[in-house]
A and B are shown apart, each in its own frame.
Chain A
């Protein structure tokens, strides 16, 4: 089976233009990263701010081109810098962003937000679009009455549901989830994670899940890639990475994650009493 997404040695450099006093320099945001994701699987990309994970997300979503390296979607090579992007390719990858308050156009009704991808990419009639948007709204756990409302009337979790619905309107193969739950409350986070799991089962979706939260990653991922300063320092199945981290940075990351279980609390209290 060809993987839905395959990346070979992706590199992304940024030129920082010089000024009178400083010389221009090149920042290597992503330094040769390779990975592959099969259909219906979830690859989690973990790292802290500045590790290049969001740059990678933009490359995979075909917003920015890679400086070098190859990216294949469904076995087909994509190079937006040279060939541009066909509408068909565009539809295959969609994205959900972190901040639920910036992700929806505040001047548009939910219905219009959901229909926009269809207006741009298909020749569907207005009532067809409406039906499809309604169906998707229900699929992500919202109701028909929400169709005519504006984003400011929704909570963060509901907005994130709308953002997911919008991303699914074009039946994409691959969904890039850029920290989709890190701005949400714990209980809402659980709902959205459940929703993502349900949708993955139903549509055989492939996820690239970008996160800094290891507990979420451990819950949702099949494969895990840990990034550190633009490099993939660890890449393997969830079980391998979590049970036997190889790289010292991965170990630091695991050690730093706060543990919310009774044993570690007991241990801490004992240390404190001593």
Chain B
């Protein structure tokens, strides 16, 4: 059964220069235990569509969809407070800037225990025990001691581990990771990706990884959606996407990787593709 089901999602923003359509008719599905990667360049609406699904967009955004279901429950018709009960508990999210995602005024222990108190209603001793357990799970050494540290005392990689621990604290069914390693160094990125994949496999979670990095897609995803300017261009399982991309845009994207460079020049997208050509191959 699919965990998250989105059909024909449209997100519009009111701006000074009139309405702007950030997401234009995107449909997607994530199954239990599946890793879906949404890949696209800036302006492709990849983050916005997930924020919209979670109801985290500001008031200037207008969200419509034919279907927006989580685990068979309709998210669109829900009141904000009902939605909040699901978001954060059954759907968790981690963001790009790990240090900015944590509140600098509180210890990381307080922040993880707060989530446990709000969503699970555990008592004090149980919260602490669970927090230590979670920290050990995400590979933070000296977990008990680390609980009393403030975010600025930790490195970016450690903060991202804390964020993952917080996200996992309520055993979510779906984890959305929005550019989880973009702000991190390569060696730390490797550790965090390994950690995420291990946890995903152990817990059998559904997972959505939003990224612009083809390498991250190749290392993590089962299935891939390619987005461009708010539209879905291609959807395929990871191997066939890299082996035989259907759309010209994906082909262009892959050939722009310096890894795949043959000869002196890198092929670029703008040089041989217009927007119309890209959208012509788009899928729904």
Residues of A within 8 A of B (CB): 48-49, 156, 185-191, 193-194, 197, 212-216, 218-220, 252-253, 255-262, 264-266, 268-269, 272
Contact = CB atoms under 8 A, between A and B. Distances in A.
Most buried by B among A156, A186, A215, A269: A186
A190 B238 contact: no
B14 to A, nearest CB: 20
19 contacts: A48-B185, A156-B42, A190-B268, A194-B265, A197-B265, A215-B258, A216-B258, A252-B187, A253-B186, A256-B186, A257-B186, A258-B190, A259-B259, A260-B217, A260-B257, A260-B260, A261-B218, A265-B238, A269-B239
B258 A191 contact: no
Contacts of A269: 238-239
Interface string B30-62: 000000000001100000000000000000000
A274 B214 CA distance: 24
Given A185-B42, A259-B219, A253 B259 contact: no
Contacts of A272: 201
Nearest to A193: B266
Contacts of B269: 187, 190
Given A190-B256, A212-B186, 15 more contacts: A48-B187, A49-B185, A186-B253, A190-B269, A191-B271, A212-B185, A219-B258, A219-B261, A255-B190, A257-B186, A258-B216, A259-B259, A260-B242, A261-B259, A265-B238
Nearest to A268: B219
Interface of B: 41-42, 185-190, 193, 201, 212-219, 238-239, 242-243, 252-254, 256-261, 264-271
Nearest to B42: A185
Contact of B219 (A188, A214, A258): A258
B70 to A, nearest CB: 25
State the majority secondary structure of interface residues on A. helix
A9 to B, nearest CB: 27
A215 B257 contact: yes
A268 B269 CA distance: 29
Contacts of B258: 189-190, 193, 215-216, 218-220
A215 to B, nearest CB: 5
A191 B258 CA distance: 11
A258 B201 CA distance: 19
B187 A256 contact: yes
Contacts of B216: 258
A213 B260 CA distance: 14
Nearest to B253: A186
B189 A258 contact: yes
A186 B256 contact: yes
Contacts of B218: 258-261, 264-265, 268
A193 B185 CA distance: 21
Contact of A265 (B193, B239, B257, B267): B239
B270 A187 contact: yes
A196 to B, nearest CB: 11
Contacts of A156: 42
A190 B215 contact: no
Nearest to B39: A186
B266 A190 contact: yes
A258 B186 CA distance: 8
